[in-house]
Amino acid sequence: VQLQAFGGGLVQPGGSLRLSCAASGFTLDRPAIGWFRQAPGKEREAVSCLSTNNDITYYPDFVKGRFTISRDKTKNTEYLQMNNLRPEDTAVYYCATELGLSSSYVLCHREPRSWGQGTLVTVSS
């Protein structure tokens, strides 16, 4: 199982970014998928998860209405669309999954077994 995240960068407050995570070694449409982040000096936290059937999402309150997770089965890639970014969204973002796990809620509330390498998002003027 390999995950490779990319798409981070510097963006101004109120701006948008789309992160991508390419999967290899397994079919991305089967397990739940998710995005997590870790800001300097803080613990890693979940920001979005999507269930196996693409029908149930989980978002913590601090990103609801701003972030959207999605999956393209044909490209074996997951995405995180981030809008209205705030300075407090600055962090390294990681994609993650766990084979055999289908629940978005469970994935976002545990330590997934498979992680991408992380991509840095900096929100600053």
pLDDT tens-digit map of 24-58: 887 766 889 999 999 999 999 999 999 988 789 99
- Burial label for 112, CB within 10 Å (0-12, 13-18, 19+), is buried
Which residues sit opposite 81 in a β-bridge? 18, 68
Q: What is the pLDDT of residue 28?
A: 66
Q: pLDDT tens across 68-91, in order?
A: 999 998 898 999 999 999 999 999
Residue pair 19/8 in contact by the 8 Å Cβ criterion: yes
Q: How many CB atoms lie within 10 A of CB 68?
A: 16
49: amino acid identity, one letter: C
SS3 call for 104: helix
